[in-house]
Amino acid sequence: MRKYPKMMLAGLVFMSSLLFSLPVYATEPDLTDSGYVAAGPGAVQEDEDTTSGMSLGTFTITGYCSCDFCSGGHKLTYSGTVPKADHTISADLNLFPIGTKLLINGTVYTVEDMGSSVNGKKIDIYYDSHEEALAAGMYTAEVFRWD
């Protein structure tokens, strides 16, 4: 019986902490996706380069996976995400900041990673296995901006 008031108090503290945390929570969505890109380095908006569907030219495409050989033991991307096939690509972040969406051979990928050899007109596409990454080989493809 004596514990009852304490439980009530704990409940009130919990409720009020929830209330106080709500306004902070409400601002969270701004930090995701496009918001992050807009605030990121190299996110200078140039109309010519940000038109969705615009060709960015021909790039050299390679494949990689999360194995030690490809990624040096890093299981997460440079941006901290879990890499996903048909989604994650590594690019020159000076050209394409994290979060940039690019259309390559009919698939829309998102720049989430970088690599020491991925610079200029090069794109590294993430695969779930080293075999798939190897099988994809090296080829050239036209890359389009896709926002």
65 binds Zn ion (CB under 5 A): yes
Question: Which range of residues in 35-43, 65-73, 105-113, 139-147 is near Zn ion by CB under 5 A?
Answer: 65-73
The Cα 108–Cα 2 span in angstroms is 61
**Farthest-apart Cα atoms in the chain, separation:** 75
Contact between 118 and Zn ion per CB under 5 A: no
Tell me which amino acid residue 41 is: P
Sign of CA dihedral 145, 89, 58, 93: positive
Spatial distance between the Cα atoms of 2 and 128, rounded to a whole number of angstroms: 58
3-11, 36-44, 61-69, 76-84 -> range binding Zn ion (CB under 5 A): 61-69
Residues binding Zn ion: number (CB under 5 A): 4
Binding range to Zn ion, per CB under 5 A, among 60-68, 94-102, 116-124, 139-147: 60-68
Interacting residue with Zn ion among 130, 132, 136, 141 (CB under 5 A): 130
